[in-house]
Amino acid sequence: PEGMIDSRSVYLFDQEDIGRIYYVGMQDEEEFAFRVRLEEELKKLSQVM
């Protein structure tokens, strides 16, 4: 993969140097609040079962 930072900066990597790629995607306050709420609800469910 390669990463274009700006018109003067590019990062290149050899495939053998990459063990794993993480794609985080776009995250905003609403996403974080949703995850917190989801984890709380999952904990409640696991206590019931």
Helices (H), 2-49: 29-48
For residue 6, pLDDT beyond 60? yes
Residue 2 has pLDDT above 70, yes or no: no
- Which residue bears the tokens 């003067």? 8
What residue numbers bound the domain in which 32 lies? 19-49
CA dist 1 and 6 (Å) reads 16
12 in a domain, yes or no? no
**Domain tally, the chain:** 1
Distance from C-alpha of 18 to C-alpha of 37, rounded to nearest angstrom: 34
Torsion of Cα atoms, 14 then 19 then 25 then 31, to 10°? -160
In a domain, 4, yes or no: no
For 14-34, what is each residue's pLDDT tens digit? Answer: 888 888 888 888 889 999 999
